[in-house]
Structure formats: C-alpha cells, structure tokens
Structure 1
Amino acid sequence: MKKQPSTERKLFMYAWKFKNSILIGLVCLIIAVALELTGPFIAKRLIDQHIVGIENQWYQVEQSDRYTVEYKGNLYKRKDRLDQNDDASQPAAIVQVKRAYYFVNQEVPMQGQRSLQGDQLTIKSPDKTVTAKAERLSLSTLYQFFKPEQRAIYWLLGIYVVLLLIAAVFKFSHTFILQRSSNRIIRKMRDDLFAHLQRLPMQYYVNQPAGKVVARVTNDTEAIKELYVRVLATFVTSFFYMAGIYVALFLLNVKLALMCLALIPVLYGWMKLYKYLGGKYNTVVRSTVSEMNGNINEAIQGMPIIQAFRQEKQTSNEFEELNERHFTYQRKLVRLSALTSFNLVNVLRNIAFVGFIWYFGSASLGVEGLVTVGVLYAFVDYLNRLFQPITDLVNQLPQLEVARVSAGRVFEVLDEHGESVETRELERYKGHIAFDHVSFAYEKDNYILKDLSFEVKAGQTAAFVGHTGSGKSSVMNLLFRFYDPQLGKITIDGKPIKDWSRQQVRSHMGIVLQDPFIFSGTILSNVTMNDSSISREMAVSSLKAVGADRFIEKLPDGYDSPVKEKGDSLSMGQRQLIAFARALAFDPAVLILDEATANIDTETEQLIQEALEVLKKGRTTLVIAHRLSTIQQAEQIFVLNHGTMVEQGTHHELIAEGGHYYQMYRMQQKGLKAQAM
C-alpha cells in the first residue's frame, strides 16, 4: 500500500501550485532583507571612519585639499587620507581621554591604556609606555577636525535612507504578493474540498454528522488560511532575516557568530517539543469544535422535539460536557504558549547578551583594544535584530499547530475515496428498468435486498409496497446510484448503469421525496434549481401543470415570492407541489415518487393525483407508497417483504390472490372507515 504524504508535504504541494507568484514574493523579501541589513554596516563605517576616525595619526602637509585641517597655522591630514602626492612631514595624533580630545605633536600608540597628569599624556601598550605633551582641543577646534568628514557622513546617511525606502517598496511587494498567493491557495483548497464532498459516496454522509463536515469546510480551512497568510509569511521572513543576520555576524566576527549559532538547536528543540504537545492538544480541541458544531446543528434542527419532550437540561448537559473538554485543552494550550512567547525569547536574549558582554568585556576590550566602536555598535544592532524574528517565530507556534492539525482534518476528507465526475450528456434513455438478481447491504453481510429481480417497461407506472424495512427505499437508492449492489446488476434500456457515471445515470431521472427539500430563495429558483436550461416560462408552466398556481398567485410576489430554508413558511402540501413542478420542469425519463403522498391531506392529494397524470406521460414512473389507494392504477405493483419479492401484479390481481397485498389493503380500509366514524 502506497504511503500517504505527510500533512506538511501536502500543504507544500498546494503552495507549489502557485510557485511563480510565491517565488517573486520571496525574491522581493530577499532584496528587502539585504537592503535593511546594510544599516549596521553603514553605521559601522560612519562611526569608525568618520566620527571616531579622527582619533588617529595625523601628518603635517604642504598642500590643502578637502581632507586637510588647519591647526595653529599648519595643515594636517589623517594618516588614512594620505595619498602619493602628499608631502607628509611632522607626525601628530589626536587622542581621546575620557570625554575630551587632545592634540599630541608627535607619533604615539593608538592602542593601550591612557592616563593624563596635567598636560602629560601616558599611554601603556603591551610593547612599551609612551609619555607626551598633550593639548586639549576646544569644541570649535575639534569641529574643524570633524568638518572634512561631514560630506561623507551626509552621503552615507542619504544612501541609508534611500536603501530603506527601496526596502520598504520591496517589503510591501513581498507582503502583498505572499498574502495574495495565500488567499489563492485557500480558495483553491476550499474549492477542491467542496468539489470532493460532492464526489464522496452517500455512505460517507450517513456516518458523518453534518456539523462535522461543515466545520472542516469552514473552521478548519480558515485556520489553514492563517497558516498561509500569516504563519508562512512570518516563518519565511524570519528565516531570511536570521540567515542574513548570521551572514553579517560571520563577516564581523567568526567566533561570536559561532557562539550565536547555539540559539538554532535550542529554538529547533523547542519547536519540536511544542509540535508534539501542541499537536496533541490541538487535535482534541479541533475534534471537539467539530463535535460542538454537530451538537448545535442537531439541537437547532430538533428544537421542537427537545422542547416538546422537556429535554432542554439534558441537551445543555451534553453541550456543556463538550464545552468543558474544549476549555480544558484550550487552557493547556494557553499554559504551553505562556511558557513560550516572550518568556523563552527573553531568556535566550539575556543569555546571548551575557555571552556578548563576557566576550567583549574580558576577551576583546583589554589592553590590546582589538574592537572598534563601530564593530561594537554593529554587533549590538545585529543581536537586537536577531531576536525579533525569533520572537515572531515563537509567537506563531500556536497558530502553526492549529493550522497543522486543521490541515490534517481537511486532508483526511480529501483522502477519502471519491468518484470521478462525468457530466458528458447521455442521449435521453427510454426508461426500461431491470433488476437482475440484485442483493444489497448497507453494512457487511446484513443484506436489505436479497436476490431481487423485476422489470419495468418504458412508460409504465410501477409501485413498490411493503411494511417498514422491506427494502422499498433501497430499491430507489440503488436505481439513483446513491449506492451500488454487492451482487447482481441493474440495467436501463439493457445497459448496466455501472457503465455510466452517477451523474449520467441521474441526468434523466427526477425524484420527489416524502419530505421535499426546499432551498432558500424564491419559488421559481426552487423549480429551476438555477439551471440555465430551465427558463422562467418552463418553470411557471410546470407549476401551473401541477396546480401550484392556485396558492402561488395569492402570494404578494407570486412566483418570485421568497421562501426560507426548508420552506418553513409553506405547508407540507405546498412544498410537495413545488417538488412535483421541479421534477416536471426537468422532464425526466424516469420519475421516482418516494412516498410523495404520505403526509398530504385528502384535498391536496386530489391535486397531486391530477398532477401525477400529467407527470406520468412519456416517462417511466416508480412509486413508493403507503397509501394503497394512490397506486390502484399502476400497471405493476411489487410487494416486498424483508428484501424479497413476495407478490407482483396489478391491484385487482393482487386483491384476488388474497395475500400480503390484500391484507395490507384491508387493514387500510378498516382504518379509513374508523376515521370516518
């Protein structure tokens, strides 16, 4: 048996369908990250070379240019600004001691511990100790030494602002493209899920409460939407930011970058732990939400019965039990998230900064002075930036697990074996129906129909009668291919219906149920079913043909009168007439009436009997009936008992036999006489 892909793999496969737009979004993200991460490098250059860079060796020169500074009648130029054309002579230095700057008219070491006694400066380096006369620079004089660097400072700041603006454009593009792609993925998933639900066999819906199915189409896909819209974008953004920051850290200092890599296994281990615990808790939570939806749906549908039998407390207790389970596991998730979120990140951040202080304080800021102020600033900036994506990742873990569990539930439905949809038009068949030694069971070996054989010729009206559980409705379920028999075959015009798709078999069939379903909309939309091939004129004509115009024309909006879901504003007889008109409008070759007159009053039954004569013309009609008075004109009557055919013939033939049919008919006649008295 082929192993099913993991949930993560299936989510990736859905995303892969929109790989082009996602790739463009990721490219925009990479550019935005790269541009934003240039900031600390620019700041490092600005600080080291243009702000604290004046603390350097200077040389007296003859020629004036943009980098020279006049001091006491002489021109001086920084050592790193000298070029081949400069005639450098007397060396000098600018040295910072505490918060003041001093001019030293000789060459001195730039590294080492500094102290000042009067105007005597002492610099102790690992190699030697140097003492020199130092002159404190006033603020205005110091500004002259900074002045050559102003132009470069402005240029660097301007470049950084421009880079940030460009990065903002790419970041907007990345966010917009990824979120648009995420919404398209969810739209595709919902379409696929709903289409798949229509391909699932009827047995699936027998075993699944409607509320649970609805929860998977709405609640679970909405949770997955958050995965693609928010979680995916956050994880991808955080990954690229962290990768970019680590690259920058390695460029600045390999040793510190290696120390910072220790965060990765800690973060990975926590994510694995959260996936295990969060997945377990969320599975219960999502399952409970589905059960709550099913419970609420059932309670609303059955509210008249609940109130009539005073079961409000019992129903409330059942819901409260589910609600309590949901609350308990949500509390566990909240506790788990509280341990994560900012707490975990703050601990990691503090540990990282302790390591940072130890490294720079004890190892790099000694007498050797190996680290510049600019490098120090860049490290602090990058470390702060590193923990922002980590915070984003950790904070998205709860939503990630909700989405992952929800995706598992959605893919569980999509993995159910569905049937192919074939809507290619079949030529209208005549309606010659035959069951050939058919046996059928809803559950294994519990056969409802047993070796059933019969034949209904095209254009005939055949009726099926029998006590409850005799298999009458199962015959119709098989004919409509809601189910397929385990044994035997069913043919229409001599062709096995299994050779056609379920949609093709039903394309020339119509059905009227005992309790017809009315959709929210109008009376006309319930007849046309929004099928463009059924015109308004055809729908109105069908309604008139079955006599529904008698009550419709009394309504304020006539045929466009709105009806609520299930048609609660209409009487049972009115709903039944609309169902008849619906069947007539689609002009089926085979018409099935599943106890269509069982709940109809006598007056309405007369209307339906008249409508039946119209409906029967030119089509095969199969009738399931409890009222034997409604089927006396049928060409054939089949009497079923526990899934087997016990009698067949016309009404008069069966009465004459004095068997099952006769006994049923006599009992009904006695009941009618008793009601009349």
Structure 2
Amino acid sequence: MPKQSTASRLFAYALVYKFRIIGALLILCCAVGAELCGPFITKTIIDKYLSTGGGDLSSVLWLIALYIGLIFIASVCNFTQSYILQSTALRIIKNMRMDLMKHIQRIPLKYFDNTPIGQVVSRIANDTEAVRDLFMSFMATFVVSLVQLTGIYIALFILDVRLALFCLPLPLIFIVIMKIHLKYSKRFITIMRARLSDMNATINESIAVMPIIQAYRREKVTLEEFEVLNEDRYVNQVKQFRVFSLSSRNIVGVIGSLVTALVVWYFGRESLQTVISFGVFYAFIDYLSRIFVPIIGIFDQLTNAQRAFVSSEKVFAVMDLEGMEVEKSHEVSRPEGIVKFDNVTFAYKSGENVLKHISFEARKGETIALVGHTGSGKSSIMNLLLGFYEPDQGTISIDGTDITTHSKQALRKHMGIVLQDPYLFAGDIKFNVSLYNQDISLERVQAALKDVGAASFVEQLPNGYDEQVVERGSTLSSGQRQLISFARALAFDPSILILDEATASIDSETEGLIQQALKVVSEGRTTLVIAHRLSTIREANQILVLHRGEIVERGNHDQLMAIEGRYYKMYQLQRGEKAS
C-alpha cells in the first residue's frame, strides 16, 4: 500500500473536526464580507453628501449607522472564528502528539539504540507544535485572503471593468514569486529544523552526563560542538529571512506602488475627458490597496506553513516506522517459569553475531547465573528473553511455548527486572514501587520494601512512603535506589526474575540485605542473574560462563571450581589470589 502524502495525512487530521473548521471559515467569510462592504458604503455616503450639498443628513446618518453595525458584526465574527479555529488547531495537535507518543511505545528498542533521545523529544514537543501554526494561522490567513481577493475583484469589476482587467494578472504574478520563494526557502528551513533536533540531542546528552563532562574538563569542547550546530542554524535562518525579505513585503510593496501610480494616472487622464465621481475614485483606490493586504498575509504565513510541512514530514517519518501493537494482557495466565534457549544465534548488525548457538534450560524455581567479561553476550540473552529483540536463529520458549507467539505485553506481564543502574520516576516512593498498578496495594508495597530491607530507611524519610523522588532519585544513595528497584520487581510478583548486574553498584552491607531477601523471593521463581561479583552467585543452581557469545563452561560453583577453567580464574582474581 503506497504511503500517503504529507498533505493528505494532515488533511485527515483536520477532517476529524471538519464541521468546526467549516463553521469557523464560514463565520470568517461573514466577517470578511462585512469588512468589504465598507468602501461601498463610504462611496455611497460621499456621493449622497456631495449630491445634496450636505442637506440630507438623515440618510447619511443611517448609512453611517449601518457601517458601524457592520464593523461590530465583523468584530464578533472575527473573535468567534479565531476562537473556534485556534481551539480546533490545539485539539488536532493534541491528537497528533498522542498518536506519536502511542506509536513510540510500539517501536522496537533497536530504534532508540540508534537515535539520540533529544531527537525523539524534538519530534514530540517541537515538531508537533510547529504543525499547529498550519491549522491556526495559515489556514485562516489563506481563506481570508482568498475571500478578500474574490470580493475585491468583484467590486473592481463593478466599479470599472477595464481597470479590473488591468489588475487581474496581479495574483498570477505573486503566485510565481511565491513558488520561487518556496523553492529556496524550504532548503534552509529543512536544515534549521534538523539542527534544532541535533541541538536538543546535544543538550539532553550534556545534562545527562554533566558529572563526566566536568570531571574530564570537557566543558569547552562541549560548548564548541554546540556552537557549530547553533552557528549552522543561525546562518541558514539568516538566509531564509533574506529570501523572505526580498520576496514578501518588499516586492509586494514595489509592485503595489507601481500599480497604484498607474491607476491614479489613468483616473487623472479620464477625468479630463469624462466626469468621474469622487466616490468611485475613492472606492477603487481603497479596493486596489486592499489587494496587497491578503498577498502580504499569505507571504507572512508561508514560512510557518513550510516549517509545519517540514516538521510534519519528520513526525510522520517516525509514525511510519514499523511497530508492534500494545495488546492487553489481563487474561494471560501465570506461567510456571520454565525458560529454554535452543540453539539461539543473534546479531545487532548483520554478520556480527554477539550470541552463537546458545542453549540452556532454567527450570521452575532455579537460579541461573550468567558470567563473563564485558561484551560476552550476557545482556543480549536478557534482551532476547524480554522480547526487545528477535533471535536470528533458534527458539526461546517459556513453558514449552515459543515466545514469538506471545504478544510483548503477555510475555513481560509475569517478568520482573532489576538493572545495574536503577531508574526512579518522578513521583513518591510508593508510586515507584507500584507504578500505579491497581492490583498492588499500599500494604503490598510496604511488604516488598520490607522484604528487600528498604523499609527501615524509607520510614525514616520526612514523608515516609509519600516522599517525593526528584531527578531520578539523586537525593537517595545508589544502594537505596537499587533496593527500591528490587522492591518494585518483587511487588509485581513475577514468575521469572531477571537481575542484570543488580548488585554491582551497592556496598557490602546493602548487598548482604539483598542476598538475604533474594533467598526468600527466589523461592518458587525462575531467576536469571547477570553477575560481575561472583561471590553473589555461589548458591546458583547453574552458572553459565560466556566468552565471545558462546557458552564455554557450565555447572554450579563447586563443579566449575573443580575443573579450574575460566570461571576458576575469574573467581580467584576477584578474591585477590593469584590464578594458577
């Protein structure tokens, strides 16, 4: 199925509120019509006043009252259409932003591995906001200008056919100028939007790693990198403004002055041969000057329209990425937790396998530990089990069922995960444990925190379980954050528990608390542990030693120590003993 054009997709969003938009534009037409009647009424007032010598004031006053009434009607209509159109534009952008956010939840994790976070944020925040101007400003301006030009030319033909025909080519001339403007302007606007995304990505990265930047004295280099992007955006913005200045008010003003001068000369010449009423002369000049107002209005909004189209192309490019539907998982039964990898091979990049023919089985209630040097493939095994990536070869099953037959939500419903770098959300302590899951009560939250040994320090906080977490939990120690992350996993009562180097960043005392808790919570659960501290996995039922994506040793602690292989050497090194 061919992809829809950007214009058609924007139109589809507007179509949802077609009656509101049509109503607003009809009201807008009424306002424009009321305003266009002004010169005709003024012409009639002048003609009546001059023809009666100022004697018939009653009819003149009625015309003045009608003029004032039309001004009032135009004012009310302008307010009404502006409110309806702007509120509708905000609704359209709200829907677009939500659609984009929903789709981001469906995009595979691989996309986020290769895309800076700042660029994704820019799509949701900046680009959708730029699209708003298309519906809020350009649409109203375009319709107003079209109605105004139509009404003005009708009035000009009524007043003088020859002069109206003389002015008829003006819109065609400006259309050619606008096409030239759009051709050169789009190039600069595209670069400007791209640099804005790059700048957002740089800012996001700089703030996230500010301690590293300051520790390694990289402030100057970071500023220089940002300055390159900022300068490039500035240069292209100046070029775009140069195109705008040359092709908008400047050229419209020049052409408008020349045409007005020609019309005045024409009327002056005609006045020597025939009698032309002063009212007709005033009305024609008034309408002629009004021709250039809508043209200038369209030129002023062309930049916003182009920015909106460039931004919408970037938004729709994200929406076009293949994603998986977020399915409901309420009816998913709890698995026993039998995990099996059967001859699994996987590569992040084609031809560069990070896992090669991985096979193992974890029975219900067993603890399987994965050890190995950095890059050996430990985390990749967990990523495959969680469904973040799909294996290139082989199968992964839970309770004998291939996980590819499950929806991602069903697959992860009964899994708990604790990462090496625990992430705490903005909110209070109890929220960070329950994540607003209605099935998890406060009592269950408190029990989970107690099981991992976190209740003691949480209850000592000023607000206890209601204590607010700020800046990813920066007010808490790394060990405290990790304990809360453990409590989160336990509160969800998973049948499969995944610990990704979860004890690597905590002190010995906290590690003791966690080890004590794990003995309780691992009962009846399948636990997979990635560990650098080999002392924490001595009780594991099976230890898998990985090297360059392959399992080179397997067995429990005593068995692996007995063969004095790779695991034995790693263990001895960590104990500070010389490996034999």
Q: TM-score w.r.t. structure 1 length?
A: 0.82
Cα distance, 1:505–1:170 mapped onto 2, change above 3 Å: same
Deviation of the 1:301 alpha carbon:
1.9
Distance 1:309 1:40 in 2: 71
Provide the residue aligned with 1:394 in structure 2.
299
Give a deviation string over 1:282-326, Cα, whole Å, max 9, x none.
111111111112112222222222222222222222122222212
Residues in 2 aligned to 1:595 and 1:671: alpha-carbon distance in whole angstroms: 23
1:172 aligns with 2:79: yes
Offset at residue 449 of structure 1 (A):
1.0
Q: Which residue of 2 aligns with 1:516?
A: 422
Q: Deviations over 1:167-219 (max 9, x none)?
A: 22222111111001111111111111111111111111111111111122112
Q: Partners in 1 of 2:191 and 2:155 — Cα distance?
A: 43
Q: Could you say which residue in structure 2 is the equivalent of 1:191?
A: 98
SS at match of 2:273: coil
Residue 51 of structure 1 corresponds to 49
Cα displacement string for residues 236-291 of structure 1 (whole angstroms, at most 9, x for unaligned residues): 22222222222222333333222222221222122212212211111111111111
Report what 1:466 is aligned to.
Answer: 372
Counterpart in the other structure of 2:17: 18
Shift in Å at residue 415 of structure 1?
1.8
- SS at structure 1 position matched to 2:178: helix
Alpha-carbon distance change, 399 to 391 in structure 1, aligned in 2, over 3 angstroms: same
The CA distance in 2 between the partners of 1:381 and 1:324, in whole Å, is 45
1:380 to 285, 290, 296: 285
Structure 2 letter corresponding to 1:351: L
Query: Which of 324, 339, 348 is matched with 1:442 structurally?
Result: 348
Q: How does 1:17-416 map to 2 (within 5 A)?
A: 17-48=16-47, 50-54=48-52, 146-147=55-56, 150-362=57-269, 364-369=270-275, 371-416=276-321
Structure 1 gaps of 5+ residues are 55-141
Contact 1:246 1:257 in 2 (8 A): yes
Kindly provide the CA deviation profile for residues 372-391 of structure 1, in whole angstroms up to 9, marking residues without a partner as x: 33322221221222222222
Q: 1:288 to 1:372 in 2, by over 3 A?
A: same
Work out the CA distance in 2 between the residues paired with 1:359 and 1:439: 85
Which residue of structure 2 lines up, in the alignment, with residue 418 of structure 1?
323
Whole-Å Cα distance in 2 between the matches of residues 249 and 589 of structure 1? 81
Partner of 2:576, secondary structure, is helix
Question: Does structure 2 conserve the Cα–Cα contact (< 8 Å) formed by 1:35 and 1:164?
Answer: yes
Q: Distance in 1 between matches of 2:17 and 2:404?
A: 37
With a CA cutoff of 8 Å and minimum separation of 6, indicate the structure with the bigger relative contact order: 2
Paired residues of 2:459 and 2:465 also in contact (CA < 8 A):
yes
Q: Aligned partners of 1:393 and 1:574: how far apart in 2?
A: 59
Paired AA for residue 26 in structure 1: L
How big is each residue's C-alpha offset from its partner over 1:146-175, in whole Å with a ceiling of 9 and x where there is no partner?
A: 33xx33323322223223222222221111
SS of structure 2 residue aligned to 1:569: coil
CA contact (8 A) 2:572 2:578 kept: no
In structure 2, relative to structure 1, the CA distance for the partners of 1:531 and 1:260 (3 Å cut) is: farther
Contact 2:25 2:140 in 1 (8 A): no
1:573 maps onto 2:479 in alignment = yes
In structure 2, what residue type is equivalent to 1:424? Answer: S
Cα drift, residue 47 of structure 1? 3.4
CA contact (8 A) 2:378 2:546 kept: yes
SS at match of 1:462: strand
Are positions 1:620 and 2:504 aligned together? no
Question: How big is the shift at 1:530?
Answer: 2.5
What letter matches 2:454 in structure 1?
A: A
Partner AA of 1:485 in structure 2: P
Q: 1:326 to 1:482 in 2, by over 3 A?
A: same
Q: For residues 401-420 of structure 1, what are the alpha-carbon distances to aligned partners after superposition, in whole Å with 9 as ceiling and x for unaligned? A: 22222222222212222221
- Matched with 1:661 is 567
Secondary structure of the residue aligned to 1:623 is strand
**SS of equivalent residue, structure 1 residue 42:** helix
Q: Is the 8 A contact 1:516 1:576 kept in 2?
A: yes
Deviation at 1:233, TM superposition (A): 2.0
CA offsets 1:41-100 (integer angstroms, 9 cap, x no match): 22333334x23445xxxxxxxxxxxxxxxxxxxxxxxxxxxxxxxxxxxxxxxxxxxxxx
Measured in 1, the distance between the counterparts of 2:347 and 2:154 equals 66
Contact (CA 8 Å) 1:202, 1:482: kept in 2 or not? Answer: yes
Question: Which moved further from structure 2: 468-477 or 523-532?
Answer: 523-532
- Identify the residue that residue 79 of structure 1 maps to in structure 2: none
Distance in 2 (CA, whole Å) between partners of 1:359 and 1:10 is: 49
> Match for residue 476 of structure 1?
382
Checking the alignment, whether the CA contact within 8 Å between 1:340 and 1:395 is kept in structure 2 is no
Pick the aligned partner of 1:564 from 454, 459, 470: 470
Report the CA distance between 1:672 and its aligned residue.
10
Give distance in 2, aligned partners of 1:151 and 1:169. Answer: 27
Q: Is the 8 A contact 2:355 2:548 kept in 1?
A: yes
The Cα offsets for residues 635-672 of structure 1, whole Å up to 9 and x where unpaired, read as 22222221122222222222223332223222223359
Give the letter for the 2:72 counterpart. L
Give 2:223's aligned amino acid.
Answer: S
Moved more, 662-671 or 315-324: 662-671
Moved more, 663-672 or 34-43: 663-672
Please tell me whether the aligned partners of residues 441 and 486 of structure 1 are also in contact (alpha carbons under 8 angstroms): yes
SS at match of 2:440: coil
Structure 1 match to 2:576: 670
- Which stretch of structure 1 is more off in the superposition, 352-361 or 568-577? 352-361
- Give distance in 1, aligned partners of 2:321 and 2:364: 37
Please state whether the residue corresponding to 2:575 is helix, strand or coil.
helix
Map 1:477-516 → 2, pairs under 5 A: 477-516=383-422
CA 1:671–1:388: 2 relative to 1, 3 Å: farther
Q: 1:530 and 2:436 equivalent?
A: yes
Q: Which residue identity is paired with 1:356?
A: V
Is the CA contact 2:178–2:247 (under 8 Å) kept in the aligned structure 1?
no
Find the counterpart in structure 1 of residue 509 from structure 2. Answer: 603
Q: Does 1:551 find its partner at 2:457? A: yes
| 8 Å Cα contact 1:44-1:378 kept in structure 2 | yes
Instruction: Report the AA paired with residue 392 of structure 1.
Output: G
Whole-angstrom CA distance in 2 between matches of 1:198 and 1:671: 48
Secondary structure, aligned partner of 1:670: coil
SS class of match (2:390): coil
Q: Secondary structure of the equivalent of 1:156?
A: helix
Query: Structure 2 CA distance, aligned partners of 1:239 and 1:454?
Result: 71
Q: Partner amino acid for 2:520?
A: V
Shift in alpha-carbon separation, 1:270–1:532, aligned structure 2, 3 A? farther
Q: 2: CA distance between counterparts of 1:241 and 1:668? A: 82
Query: Matched residues in 2 for 1:161 and 1:671: separation?
Result: 98
* Superposition RMSD in Å: 2.0
AA partner of residue 204 (structure 1): Y
Confirm or deny: 8 A CA contact 2:17 2:88 kept in the other structure. yes
Report the alpha carbon displacement of residue 3 of structure 1 after superposing the two structures with TM: 4.2
SS in 1 for 2:217: coil
Structure that is richer in strand per residue: 1
Closer, same or farther in 2 for the Cα pair 1:155/1:441, shift >3 Å?
Answer: same
Q: 5+ residue gaps in structure 2?
A: none
Paired residue type of 2:74: A
